[in-house]
Amino acid sequence: MINVIILDDHTMVLKGIETMLTEESGIFVSNTFSTGKSLLDYLTTKIPNILLLDINLPESNGIELCGFITKTYPEISIIGLSNYSDTGFIKNMMRNGAKGYLLKNTSKNELIEAIKTVSSGITYLPKTLRKKLLDESIGIQSSKFIPQLTRREQEILECIANEFTNKEIADKLFISTKTVESHRKNLLQKFAVRNTAGLIKEAFIKGLLN
Amino acid sequence: MNFSKCICILFFFLLGIIGVSQNSTPKIDSLKIELKTSIQTFEKAKNYGSIAWEYLNIDLEQTELYIDSSLALYESIKHKKGISNSYYRYGVLYRKMGDYDKAISSFKVIEAYAQMIKDTSTLADCAYQKGVIYGNKGDYQKSLEAYYQSLELYKLLQNIKSQALVLNSVGIVQKNLKNYPKAIEIYEEAVSIYKASNNLRGLSDTYGNLGNIYAIKNDFDKAIKYFERSLQVDKKLKNNWGIAINNMDMGKLYLKQNKYNQAIKLLEKALLIQTKYNFKKELTETLIGLGEANRLKQNYKKSSFYLDKALSQNMESKSINQSIYFQLFLLNQDQKNYIRALESYKIYTNLKDSIYQEKKIKSINDLQIKYESKVKDEEIASQKLGLNLKENLILKKQNQLRLALFGSIVFLISSIGIWMFYRQKQKLKNKEIEALNTQKELNKLEALIDGEENERKRIAQDLHDGINGDLSVIKYKITSIKQDKFIQKEKEEFNMAIDMLDTAIEQVRRISQNLVPPSLQNFNLIEALKQFTYKISTTNTKTKINFQYYGEYLKLNKEVETAIYRIIQELITNITKHSQATEALLQINNHEKNMHITVEDNGIGFSTSKGFKGLGLKNIESRVAFLNADFLIDTNPNGTTITIDINTNNLKDD
C-alpha cells in the first residue's frame, strides 16, 4: 500500500485528487494539508511514501519547501503539482529533490502512473514536459557552437576584418561610435575571445568571414 | 733786398699804376665790348650787372651806375631774377660803402623773394652778406649766426668756393672776439680750399686776414709775410681795393714799430689808390695813419693836412671820428697849441662819452632785453605752471575718469558674475525641477506600470488559482464518474468533455502566463525569456525565434525585469503578428553594468513614422522611459533591427 499525502491551498483540488485516488487499489491518501506549516507539523509524527506538492503556495515557496523536505526526510518521494508548465519550475523542482512533476489538469491514469513509478524509485515526467525539456537543451547547445550573428554584427565584423576603425565604421553605418563599441564588445563576448585578433580568427574558423 | 725782388716789386707797382690809370681790367673791357654788341634787353641788362660786379672792388661809383642801368633794363622786361640780382648787388655795394642799414634792407628784400622761389643759392649769399654787415656793425653774435646759416646752405649746395669765403669771414669775427687761435685755424682751412680751387681773390683776402691776426698778436714778421702774399695776389688780380688795404695794413704795422718812413711810404700808396677809387672808409683810416706817422716824425703840417682831410671825409662812424680827434689832440699838444688841443680833446672825450653812452645804452638795451626776456621767461614759467596745474587737473580728471571706468568695469564684471551665478543657480534649480519632473514622470510611469502589472497579476492569479483550479477540480470530479454502464456514445461524449476541459485549462494557463510570466515571478528575466521564446517558436509555425544570452547574469529588481520582459514581449509579438518574418533573433549581452538587447527579424519592416504607433509603441515607450534606456529602430524591407541599451547603474536596486 502506497501512503500518499497532498499539500494544496485549494481545497477543491485536494478533494478532487483524493476522490480520483480513493478507488485505486494499492494507493491510500492518508492525509491532506492546505498549508506548508500544517504539513511540516504532521511530518514530525508520520512519514508517508509520496507527497503531492503544489508549487504555488500563498505562504511559502513550494520549490524551497520541496528542498527542505527531501533533505530532512529523504524517504519521502515528492511529486510536484502545478499549473505552471515552464521548464524552469520543472528543473528547479527536480534539482530540489522532486521525483516527478505533474500539471494540475493531469488525468487519473497519468496520476496513478506517476505515483506508482515514483514509489518504485524512478523519476516520472509527463510526455509533453519531457519533450519540452529536451527541445530546450538541444536549442541552447546548438547556439553555443556557432553563434548566430545579427545583421549589424555581421556588418561590423566585416568592417573590422577590413581594418576599419570604430570612427570609420560609425560613419559608414550611420551609427554612433558608442554603438559600434557596444557591438564590438558583444562580438568578443559572443565568440568568447579576448580581443579583435581572436575575434577575426574565430570568425574565420567558424566560416563567418570569407 | 736783392735786385730781382726789386724788379719784381717794381713790376707789380707798375702794373698797379697801369690798372689804376686805366681804371679797368681786361675782363671789364671784354664785357664792355660784349655790351655794345648785345641787342636783346636781357643780355644788355646781364652785361651791365656783370660789369657792375667787376667794378665792385675797383670803383664803387662806377659799380652803382652799372647796377642802376642793369636794374632799369631788368625792370623794363620784368625779369624777376635779374631784379633780385640787382638788389643783391646794391646790398653788397651799400655794405662796401658803409651804409649798413640800406644794405640790410636790400638783402631782406632779396631774402624774402628767394624764400618765395626757394632759391637756396641766393638765400645762402644773403645770409653771408648779412654776416658781413653784422660783423662790421660789431654785432658778432648775429654775424656768426648769419655766417653759419650761410655755411650750412653752401654745404647743402656743395659750393666749396663760397664755403671758403664764409670761413674767411667767420675768421674775421673770431678775430674780433679775440679768439685768435680759432681764427687762424679757420683761415688756414679757407686757404687750403682756395689753393685747391685756384681762387686768387679768396686767397688774397685770406692772406690779408691772417696778416691782421698776426699783427694783433704782435707777430710782425708773420704779419708782414702774409700781407705781402696777399698784396702779390691782389696785384695779379688788379684788385685795387686789396692792394690799398694791404699797403695800409702794412703801413700801420710799421707805424706800430715806429718805422715811420716805411709806414708813410706804404700809407701813401694806399692813399693814392683809395682816393682814386673812392674807398671812403679805408681812405679815412689811411689818412689817420698818415696823420699819426707825420706827427710822430714831427712833420706837423703834413700831419695836420692829412687829419683835416680825414675830417673832411665826413664819416658817420663815431669811432673813426674819435680817433681823428684823438690824433688832432695829440698833434696840437705836440705843437703846444693847447687851446686847440683842448678843443680836440673835448670833442674826442665827447665822442668817447657818446660811444660809451651808446654802448651803455646798448648794454642797457641789452639788459632791458635780457630783463624783458627774463620777464617773458617768468611769464612762460608761470604759464607753464598754469599749464602744469591744468595738466594736473586734467590728470586728476583722467584719474577720476579711470577710477570711474575701473569702478564701472568692476561693477559690470561683478554684476555679470552675480547674474551668471544666479543664472547658474537658476539653471541648477531648473535642472532640479526638471529632474524632479522627470522623477515625477518616472514615478507616475512606475505607478502606472505597477498598477498595470498588479492588475495583470490579480487577473492571472484569479485565472490560475481560481478558474484553472476549479476547472481541474471539475475534471477530477468528472473523471471520477464510473464509466462502466456508459454506452459507446456516452463514452465518446465523456472523453470529449474531458478533452475540452483540458483545452480550456490550457488556454486559461496560457492567458495567465501571458499576463504574468510565472518564470519571471519565480526565477529571472532570462528564464522567463527562454520560456517565452520557446512557447512562441512552438505555437507559431511561421516564425522561428532564437534566443541568445551572453555575459554574467545581472541581478535586477522584478520591476525592471518585468519592464524589459514586456518590451521584448511586445516586440516579438509584433514580429509574429506583422513582419512576415521566418526568423527572429533575440540577443542579450551583459557587459559589466550595461545590458544590450537586440531584437532582429528578416521580415518586411515597417514605417517608423506611423506604423509603429499602432503596434503597441505606447507600452514600449513608457517602459523605455521608465528604464531610461536607449532605444533604436533600424527598419527596412529586408528586416528590422531594434537595439535597446540599458545602463543598469541608472536603475533602482532591488
Q: Is B647 within 8 Å of chain A by CB?
A: no
Distances B397 to B394, B401, B406 between C-alpha atoms, Å: 5, 6, 14
CB contact under 8 Å between A86 and B598, yes or no, is no
Beta bridge partners of A102: A81
Predicted pLDDT of residue A143: 42
Average pLDDT for residues B226-248, to the nearest whole number? Answer: 87
- Check: CB of residue A77 under 8 Å from CB of residue A103: no
Residues of chain A in contact with residue B523, where contact means CB-CB under 8 angstroms, are 88, 92
Residue B313 DSSP label: T
Q: How far apart are CA A76 and CA A71, in angstroms?
A: 10
> Does residue B599 surpass a pLDDT of 70?
yes
Most confident of B27-41, B156-170, B495-509: B495-509
The model's pLDDT over B99-126, given as tens digits with 9 standing for 90+, comes to 888 888 888 888 888 888 778 888 888 8
The model's pLDDT over B509-568, given as tens digits with 9 standing for 90+, comes to 888 888 888 888 888 898 889 888 888 888 777 888 888 888 887 778 888 888 899 899
Predicted pLDDT of residue B530: 86
Predicted pLDDT of residue B612: 54
Angle at B462 between CA B460 and CA B466, to 5 degrees: 130
The closest alpha carbon to B255, from B195, B297, B284, belongs to B297
Cβ contacts from A onto B, under 8 A: 132
Predicted pLDDT of residue B129: 85
The residue type found at B166 is V
CB contact under 8 Å between B469 and A104, yes or no, is yes
Q: Is B546 within 8 Å of chain A by CB?
A: yes
Beta bridge partners of A5: A31, A51
Handedness of CA B402, B404, B408, B411 (dihedral sign): positive
Burial class (CB in 10 A: 0-12, 13-18, 19+), B250: buried
> Does residue A116 surpass a pLDDT of 90?
yes
Instruction: List all residues 6 or more positions away from A52 whose beta carbon is below 8 Å from its beta carbon.
Output: A4, A5, A6, A7, A8, A17, A79, A81, A102
Longest dimension (CA), chain A: 77
Predicted pLDDT of residue B12: 46
Q: How far apart are CA B497 and CA B491, in angstroms?
A: 10
The model's pLDDT over A162-184, given as tens digits with 9 standing for 90+, comes to 889 989 998 888 888 888 888 88
The residue type found at B328 is L
More reliable by pLDDT, A123 or B19: A123
Average pLDDT for residues A107-121, to the nearest whole number? Answer: 91
Q: What number of H helices and E strands is found in chain A?
A: 10, 5
Average pLDDT for residues B485-512, to the nearest whole number? Answer: 88
The residue type found at B585 is L
Instruction: List all residues 6 or more positions away from B111 whose beta carbon is below 8 Å from its beta carbon.
Output: B122, B123, B126
For chain B, percent of residues with pLDDT exceeding 70: 90
From the candidates B464, B467, B471, B473, which should be mutated to test the interface with A, based on the most A CB atoms within 10 A? B473
Predicted pLDDT of residue A114: 94
Q: Is B596 within 8 Å of chain A by CB?
A: yes
Q: Find cell 473523471 and name the residue.
A: B479
Q: How far apart are CA B572 and CA B589, in angstroms?
A: 18
Predicted pLDDT of residue B622: 83
The model's pLDDT over B13-39, given as tens digits with 9 standing for 90+, comes to 444 444 444 456 777 777 888 777 777
Residue B259, H or E segment: none
From the candidates A150, A179, A199, which should be mutated to test the interface with B, based on the most B CB atoms within 10 A? A150
Q: Is B592 within 8 Å of chain A by CB?
A: no
The model's pLDDT over B56-89, given as tens digits with 9 standing for 90+, comes to 878 888 888 888 888 888 888 888 888 888 888 8
The per-residue pLDDT of chain B, averaged, comes to: 82
Strand positions, DSSP E, B517-609: 544-550, 583-591, 594-601
Grid cell digits, residue A75: 524517504
Grid cell digits, residue B629: 534606456
Angle, helices B525-539 vs A127-145, to 10°: value is 110
Burial class (CB in 10 A: 0-12, 13-18, 19+), B601: buried
Coil, helix or strand at residue B591: strand
The closest alpha carbon to B61, from B271, B278, B244, B284, belongs to B278
Q: How far apart are CA B422 and CA B324, in angstroms?
A: 107
Contacts 24+ apart (CB under 8 A), B180-185: B180/B213, B180/B216, B180/B217, B183/B209, B183/B213, B184/B210, B184/B213
Per residue, the 3-state secondary structure of B140-156, as one string, reads: HHHHHHHHHHHHHHHHH
Give DSSP secondary structure letters for B574-588. HIIIII--SEEEEEE
Average pLDDT for residues B413-424, to the nearest whole number? Answer: 89
Average pLDDT for residues B352-375, to the nearest whole number? Answer: 66
Q: How far apart are CA B438 and CA B445, in angstroms?
A: 10
Q: How far apart are CA B619 and CA B624, in angstroms?
A: 9
Domain A2-128 matching CATH 3.40.50.2300: the answer reads yes
Alpha helices in B314-466 (DSSP H): 318-334, 338-461
Beta bridge partners of A4: A29, A50
Cβ atoms within 10 Å of B426's Cβ, excluding its own: 12
What does CATH list as the number for A151-205?
A: 1.10.10.10
Q: Is B553 within 8 Å of chain A by CB?
A: no
- What proportions of chain A, in percent to the nearest 5, are helix, strand and coil? 55, 15, 30
The model's pLDDT over B206-224, given as tens digits with 9 standing for 90+, comes to 888 888 888 888 888 888 8
Torsion of Cα atoms, A123 then A129 then A134 then A137, to 10°: -100
CB contact under 8 Å between B550 and A186, yes or no, is yes
> Does residue B309 surpass a pLDDT of 80?
yes
- Check: CB of residue B310 under 8 Å from CB of residue B324: yes
For chain A, percent of residues with pLDDT exceeding 70: 95
Complete domains list, chain B, with CATH: 523-650 (3.30.565.10)
Q: How far apart are CA B241 and CA B96, in angstroms?
A: 11
User: What is the Cβ-side half-sphere exposure of residue B105, based on CA atoms within 13 angstroms?
Assistant: 3
Residues of chain A in contact with residue B512, where contact means CB-CB under 8 angstroms, are 83
Residues in chain A: 210
Q: How far apart are CA A14 and CA B52, in angstroms?
A: 165
Q: Is A56 within 8 Å of chain B by CB?
A: yes
Average pLDDT for residues B370-379, to the nearest whole number? Answer: 63
Q: Is A136 within 8 Å of chain B by CB?
A: yes
The closest alpha carbon to B613, from B633, B627, B596, belongs to B633
Q: Burial letters for A98-133: b for 16+ Cβ neighbours within 10 Å, e otherwise?
A: bbbbbbbbbbbeebbbbbbbbbeeeebbbeebeebb
Predicted pLDDT of residue B202: 80
The closest alpha carbon to B603, from B632, B630, B631, B572, belongs to B572
Please state whether B198 falls in left (phi above 0), alpha (psi between -120 and 50) or beta. Answer: left
Predicted pLDDT of residue B410: 92
Tell me the whole-structure pTM to 2 decimals. 0.47
* Nearest-CA distance B469 → chain A (Å): 6
Residue B585: which of A19, A86, A150 has the nearest Cβ? Answer: A150
The closest alpha carbon to B437, from B645, B625, B652, B648, belongs to B625
More reliable by pLDDT, B611 or B429: B429
Predicted pLDDT of residue B337: 84
CB contact under 8 Å between B476 and A19, yes or no, is yes
Grid cell digits, residue B17: 699804376
Residue of B nearest to A108 (CA): B479
Instruction: List all residues 6 or more positions away from A188 whose beta carbon is below 8 Å from its beta carbon.
Output: A194, A195, A196, A198, A199
From the candidates A6, A19, A86, which should be mutated to test the interface with B, based on the most B CB atoms within 10 A? A86
Q: How far apart are CA B463 and CA B512, in angstroms?
A: 6
State ipTM: 0.71
* Nearest-CA distance B472 → chain A (Å): 5
Give DSSP secondary structure letters for A75-100. T-EEEEEES---HHHHHHHHHTT-SE
Cβ atoms within 10 Å of B400's Cβ, excluding its own: 10
Query: Which pLDDT band holds residue B1 (cuts at 50, 70, 90)?
Result: very low
For chain A, percent of residues with pLDDT exceeding 90: 36
Q: Is A107 within 8 Å of chain B by CB?
A: yes
- What does the domain layout of chain A look like in residue ranges? 2-128, 151-205
The model's pLDDT over A48-104, given as tens digits with 9 standing for 90+, comes to 999 999 988 877 788 889 999 999 999 999 999 988 888 888 998 999 999 999 998
The closest alpha carbon to B65, from B108, B21, B32, belongs to B32
Residue B595 DSSP label: E
Please state whether B580 falls in left (phi above 0), alpha (psi between -120 and 50) or beta. Answer: left
User: What is the Cβ-side half-sphere exposure of residue A2, based on CA atoms within 13 angstroms?
Assistant: 25
The model's pLDDT over A19-59, given as tens digits with 9 standing for 90+, comes to 888 888 889 999 999 899 999 999 999 999 999 999 888 77
Coil, helix or strand at residue B219: coil
The residue type found at B187 is Y
Phi, psi of B644 (to 5 degrees): -130, 120
Predicted pLDDT of residue B653: 53
CB contact under 8 Å between A83 and B538, yes or no, is no
Cβ atoms within 10 Å of B599's Cβ, excluding its own: 24
Q: Is A141 within 8 Å of chain B by CB?
A: no
